[in-house]
Amino acid sequence: MAVNAFIFPGQGSQSVGMGRDLAAAFAPARDVFEEVDEVLKQKLSRLMFDGPADELTLTENAQPALMAMSIAVLRCLEREGGVTVRQRAAVVAGHSLGEYSALAAAGAFSVAEAATLLRIRGNAMQRAVPPGAGAMAALLGVELETARAICAEAETGPLGREVVAVANDNGGGQVVISGATAAVDRAIEIAKSHGVKRAMKLPVSAPFHCALMEPAAAAMEEALAATPPRAPVVPLIANVTASKVTDPAEIRTRLVEQVTATVRWRESVTEMIDLGVTRFIELGAGKVLAGLNRRIAPDAETLSCGTPAELEALIKHVG
217: amino acid identity, one letter: A
Question: What is 197-225 written as a DSSP string?
Answer: SEEEE---SS--SSGGGHHHHHHHHHHHH
Contacts of residue 298, defined as CB under 8 A and 6 or more positions apart, other chains included, come to none
Given 13, 205, 209, 304, the catalytic residue: 209
Which residues make beta-bridge pairs with 237?
Answer: 244
> Catalytic: which of 70, 96, 178, 304?
96
Maximum separation of any 2 CA atoms in the chain, in Å: 60
Cβ neighbours for 280, distance < 8 A, ≥ 6 positions apart? 4, 5, 7, 269, 272, 289, 290, 293, 297, 300, 301, 302, 303
* Radius of gyration over every alpha carbon of the chain, rounded to an integer in angstroms: 19
- Amino acid of residue 72: A
Q: Catalytic: 317?
A: no
96 is catalytic: yes
Instruction: List, by residue number, the catalytic residues.
Output: 96, 209
